[in-house]
């Protein structure tokens, strides 16, 4: 329901089909309100999504600098931007098969263009999502390495796990860490391996 509250809906699988799994998902409310949004407000809103195009090159440079900072320190097995971009063949549509939305305005000429939808849904949006996700991943690696100290969001850094932090690399410094930070598997591969070994079912039982 469009009441501004989180809805409980089946989550999608990689194929886009519902998985059947129900979970409390705090969804953004937008699709249920778009038809009630005043047209002038929509006209003003549309250009806003293209202004970030001006800044994407700077985000790319920032991400590249972060990547090479880590590589210069000896980092290996880092993900690249390619790891965050969808495979070309995985896109639902190409220029010939792209579906079109019904025009809602006489000036809304772009929604009747396949090139418009291909540019946005095959290039711009996936690239922007991938670029920002890559940058966020790299910054998480940086923080995991230099700052292996707990805070309320650190659990979400698990997708940027490292072998050991800067503090773990030096015996005189590792002893200064809080016990929980010392053994955190996000930045301590030995602790992660020990935990997996403990959870693994023992043979012969």
Residues 63-120: tens digit of each pLDDT: 999 999 999 999 999 999 999 999 999 999 999 999 988 766 555 667 778 999 999 9
Ordered DSSP codes for 114-180: HHHHHIIIIIIHHHHHHHHHHHHHHHHHHHHHH-----TTGGGGGGG--SB-TGGG-HHHHTTS-HH
Domain residue spans of the chain:
50-146, 148-205
pLDDT for res 2: 42
pLDDT for res 7: 43
Structure tokens at 138: 């790299």
Query: Which of 43, 38, 32 shows the shortest CA–CA distance to 109?
Result: 43
**10 — pLDDT class (breaks 50, 70, 90):** very low
pLDDT for res 77: 96
| Cα 159 to Cα 155: distance, rounded to the nearest angstrom | 9
| Cα 131 to Cα 141: distance, rounded to the nearest angstrom | 15
Q: H/E element holding 7?
A: strand 7-12
Whole-number average pLDDT of the chain: 86
Would the pLDDT of 43 be above 90?
no
| Cα 179 to Cα 167: distance, rounded to the nearest angstrom | 13
pLDDT for res 105: 59
Specify the higher pLDDT residue, 54 or 195: 54
Residues 152-164: tens digit of each pLDDT: 999 999 999 999 9
pLDDT for res 103: 67
Geometric angle at alpha carbon 60, from 56 and 61, rounded to 5°: 120
Show Cβ contacts of residue 170 under 8 Å, excluding neighbours closer than 6 positions. Answer: none
**186 — pLDDT class (breaks 50, 70, 90):** very high
Residue 184 has a CB neighbour count (10 Å cut-off) of 24
Residues 133-150: tens digit of each pLDDT: 999 999 999 999 999 999
Angle of helix 125-146 versus helix 56-72 axis, rounded to 10: 30
Ordered DSSP codes for 8-67: EEEEE-TTSSEEEEEEEE-----TTTGGGS-HHHHHHHHHHTTGGGGTHHHHHHHHHHHH
C-beta separation of 167 from 173 below 8 A: yes
Query: How far is residue 7 from each of residues 3, 26, 137, measured CA to CA in Å?
Result: 9, 6, 28
């Amino acid at each position: 329901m469009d009441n501004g509250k989180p809805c409980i809906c089946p989550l999608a699988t990689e194929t886009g089909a519902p998985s059947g799994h129900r979970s409390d998902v705090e969804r953004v409310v937008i699709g249920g309100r778009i038809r009630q949004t005043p047209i002038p407000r929509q006209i003003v809103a549309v250009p806003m999504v293209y202004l970030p195009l001006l800044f994407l090159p700077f985000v790319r440079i920032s991400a590249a600098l972060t990547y090479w900072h880590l590589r210069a320190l000896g980092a290996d097995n880092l993900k690249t931007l390619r790891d965050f971009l969808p495979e070309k063949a995985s896109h639902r549509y190409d220029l010939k098969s792209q579906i079109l939305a019904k025009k809602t305005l006489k000036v809304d000429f772009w929604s009747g263009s396949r090139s418009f939808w291909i540019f946005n849904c095959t290039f711009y949006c996936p690239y922007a999502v991938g670029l920002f996700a890559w940058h966020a991943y790299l910054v998480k690696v940086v923080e995991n390495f230099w700052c292996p100290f707990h805070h309320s969001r650190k659990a979400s850094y698990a997708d940027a796990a490292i072998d050991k932090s800067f503090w773990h690399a030096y015996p005189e410094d590792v002893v200064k860490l809080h016990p929980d930070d010392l053994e955190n598997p996000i930045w301590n591969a030995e602790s992660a391996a020990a935990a997996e070994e403990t959870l693994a079912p023992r043979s012969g039982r």
